[in-house]
Amino acid sequence: MSAKLESPPPFASPDAAPRPLFGLKEAVAVVVGNVIGSGIFKLPPLVAKFTGSVEVMMIAWVLGGVVSILGALCYAELGAARPDAGGEYHFLDHGFGRDLARLFAWARMTVICSGSIALFAFVFGDYATQLLNLGPYSAPIYSALLVAVLTAVNVAGVQAGKRTQNWLTVLQVAGLLAVIVAGFFFAGPRTEAAAASSSIPEAGAFGLAMVFVLYTYGGWNDAAYLTAEIQQGHRNIARSLILGLSIVTVLYLLVSLAYLNGLGFAALAKSDAVAADLLRGAWGPPGAALISIIVGVCAITACNATILTGGRSGYAMGRDWSLFRALGVWKGGAGGPRNALIAQGIISLALVAFGTWRSKGVETMVDYTAPVFWLFFFLTGMSLFIFRQWEPNASRPFKVPFYPLTPLVFCGVCIYMLYSSLAYAGAGALVGVGVLLVGVVLLIFDRRVR
């Protein structure tokens, strides 16, 4: 974190630009690593509570995977047609203009990615503290250390970053498999049948359940930032998104069934720490310790994947916005967006401090990121319609099936999620929207200067 910022070179060299270093395996690892975080260990009880029955709950998890794949198909067309390290920044730039793209890059660097990094760091800190308590500020210390260390790993270069991601994703999936095995083969006898139902949910409760489900599936879109670095990107971007989300959907369904088999529906709906309850029942206190390690690994994996992809939009912004030109530096060879990664790390550390002050780190970061995230998710989906209208004959190596129904459904979900994130927002959401408005002020200032 103490590395000195480099000055942008006066001209681009062949090595000072993104190179296709990610194969299909690494791209799938980024998708899986970004999606599987702490959500699957924290949110299933809320999904059970608001669905009210085993059948409806499982439908919600399936729908979450389907909606995510619909969005991934839209992103696959955009990414295959316009491979660029800027990802969504690049799509918004061509669809809506440079100013909106710059505003998105500002939002991503200061709110979306940095907030997500801080969120995963808080989850890691909470579970690491259960294994070794460092005192009254143990969790924030662990959180800050994770941000600093993983940022340094990715600043060291793309090769180090992607190798770390591959190994972390293997450990992450192994952790989920441990939950599945414990639920199906080692859990003790239950006091109810798995098919039992709780009270009938209130009207609209299913929609609230989908908010939690889709949050758990979130993060797959970050693969768009690797479109210029994926080998045979015109084919592998779609493959990595669909394959990665399919793996995640199957794992989520198996984990949900393991919770049901090991705890029963009523106990699942009432649990505050469902995975810990499951493993404690299966393996006693060592099981509770094991789940702390599992969730910690998942948080590390998601945090590393977000850091890996998050610097790309800052890099794109630095290339196109003179106020942030220092971010538009790509370390030569197998390097990466060094300055953008450092800036992102500093902002993430500031958000760790903010979340610590609020005393609700994870909840504050969810509130902070959600409205801004879903706003730009919707605009990115809409850019697909713009490109189809303006450039009907453009080359599209991959086309979203069932157009225009597929992107219409996806955009509709984005609008609903935007509404929900504002309707249930806390103080963190107001801060996130305020930071977005600061970006608007910077845009106005830049236009006046120019």
List the pLDDT tens digit at each of the 450 positions of the chain.
434 334 443 334 444 455 656 677 777 877 887 788 777 887 788 888 888 889 999 999 999 999 999 998 998 888 777 766 567 778 888 889 889 988 998 998 899 989 989 988 888 888 788 778 888 888 889 999 999 999 988 887 655 555 665 676 677 777 788 889 888 887 665 544 444 444 445 545 777 778 788 888 987 876 666 656 666 656 677 788 888 899 999 999 999 999 998 888 988 888 767 887 888 888 888 887 888 888 888 788 778 878 887 787 778 778 878 888 888 887 765 567 888 899 999 999 999 999 888 777 777 887 898 889 889 989 999 999 999 998 888 878 888 989 999 999 999 999 988 887 787 666 788 899 999 999 999 999 888 877
Domains of the chain listed by start with CATH number: 24-449 (1.20.1740.10)
Q: How many whole angstroms separate alpha carbon 433 and alpha carbon 436?
A: 5
105 touches 314 (CB < 8 A): yes
Q: How many whole angstroms separate alpha carbon 350 and alpha carbon 118?
A: 9
H/E stretch holding 14 reads: none
Q: Is 442 exposed, middle or buried (0-12, 13-18, 19+ CB in 10 A)?
A: middle
Q: How many whole angstroms separate alpha carbon 402 and alpha carbon 404?
A: 6
Q: pTM (2 decimals)?
A: 0.77
344 touches 151 (CB < 8 A): yes
229 touches 21 (CB < 8 A): yes
pLDDT in tens, 371-420: 898 899 899 999 999 999 988 888 788 889 899 999 999 999 999 888 87
Tokens for 133, please give them: 């308590």
pLDDT in tens, 147-181: 999 998 888 765 555 566 567 667 777 778 888 98
Q: How many residues does the chain have?
A: 450
Tokens for 303, please give them: 């945090």
C-alpha to C-alpha distances, 154 to 108, 109, 128, 177, 286, nearest whole angstrom: 18, 16, 22, 28, 33
Place of tokens 């996130």: 432
Q: How many whole angstroms separate alpha carbon 46 and alpha carbon 42?
A: 8
